[in-house]
Every structure is written in structure tokens, then in C-alpha cells.
Amino acid sequence: MSFIKILSIPPKRRDFFIFGQIKSMMLKLYMLPLIFLSCIANAQHIKFPQSWMGDWKGELHWSKAGNDTVQKVKMELHIKPSPESGKYNWQIIYGDNKADNRPYTLFAKDSAKGHWAIDENNGIILDQFLIADKFCGAFTVQSSTIINNYWLDGDKLIVEFYNLNLKNPFSSGKGTEEIPLVNSYPVRSYQKAILYKE
């Protein structure tokens, strides 16, 4: 509102209007630091892998294509600093008796680009990528491709695995430049775990 229009307002209403404008301005100035601090807290919350550290435990549900039965397996993921600089323990454990113990090592290949890797400590190293706060990767073993996703959701750590069969793809298209041949692959199974930090 222009200064001339403000002067045209009766004195009592003018005082009330000016007081309201000042109050609104003060409220905005008060909120700015809170918004700034909230942004900082959120940035710290999603920092990887520091904000993921801990002992995560829960249950993994394993569903197979064409089978309504859901297999349930205990799962643990322990993420901790490693004695070796720049590396972290990435230990996955399956089952009640913890017989399936996989003591892997996490390290950065190029953290600025979100490029990480998991070393299985047996000669196998799997590339992983941090994209949109999800830690994801894909690898092929013989005729199966595994796609994995890990992400934080509040107080939970969600884990997903997709298993694709590469043996019998369905091909379609014309094989031309405009309409190339496209292969699609059967999804054998889907696994999802919801883990909680202890």
C-alpha cells in the first residue's frame, strides 16, 4: 500500500494498520532463523554414511513371482566406522541363528558424485550410488541381475532387492533406428525389509 493511501486511512484505523504491518514484519524476521536452522538440520540428517550409523534390525519379507507365500527372515545391518581410515563396516546378517553373516566394507570412490562401493572382502566389489538420498546399485551374477535400494524413512531404514531373470527375455520392436529392439526381463522375486535402530 502506498504512503498516500495510508494517510487517507482514519487515525485509529491507521495506527491499527501500521501496528499490524510491523507485527507481520517482525514475525517474518523471527521465522527466517528457524527456517535456516531447519534446513541445516535436514542437511545434517541425510548426511551419508554418518547419519546411517548404528545397529539396524528387523524382518525381511521375500515374495516370489507366481507364489502368494511370503517368506520372512530376520535381518540385521550394522554400519560402523572401520579402523581403516575412509572405510566403514557394512555387515549384513540373515536368520535367527545369524549363520548367514556377511562382513562387508563400505568405501567412497567419489563421494562428491555419490559414487560408493561395497567390498565383499572376497575379490568382489559392487558399485553403489547415492541418488536422491537413496543408496542404490545393481549387479549381475550368472543369469540373475539384482537391483538394491536402501534409504532412511524417519526412524526406519528401508531395504529393497529386485531379482531379474536374464535368461529368457521378451523381445519386441522392429530392429530399426526409429523403433529398435527392446528386451524386457522377468522379475523373479522382490524382497523388502524394514529395519529399526537399536
**Mean pLDDT on 10-22:** 55
What does DSSP assign to residue 49? T
In the three-class reduction of DSSP (H, G, I as helix; E, B as strand; rest coil), residue 120 is classed as coil
Per-residue pLDDT reduced to its tens digit, 40-99: 444 444 699 999 999 999 999 999 999 999 999 999 999 999 999 999 999 999 999 998
| pLDDT for 36 | 41
Per-residue pLDDT reduced to its tens digit, 165-188: 999 899 999 999 999 999 999 999
| pLDDT for 1 | 56
Are the C-beta atoms of 193 and 59 separated by less than 8 Å? yes
Mean pLDDT of the chain: 86
Instruction: Identify the band that residue 118 occupies on the pLDDT scale cut at 50, 70 and 90.
Output: very high
Kind and range of the H or E run holding 25: helix 11-45
Per-residue pLDDT reduced to its tens digit, 38-47: 444 444 446 9
pTM over 0.85: no
| pLDDT for 163 | 98
Other C-beta atoms closer than 10 Å to the C-beta of 163 total 18
Residue 195 CB partners (closer than 8 Å, separation 6+): 56, 57, 58, 75, 76, 77, 156, 157, 158, 159
Lowest mean pLDDT among 10-14, 83-87, 137-141: 10-14
Query: CA 38 to CA 33: how far, in whole Å?
Result: 8
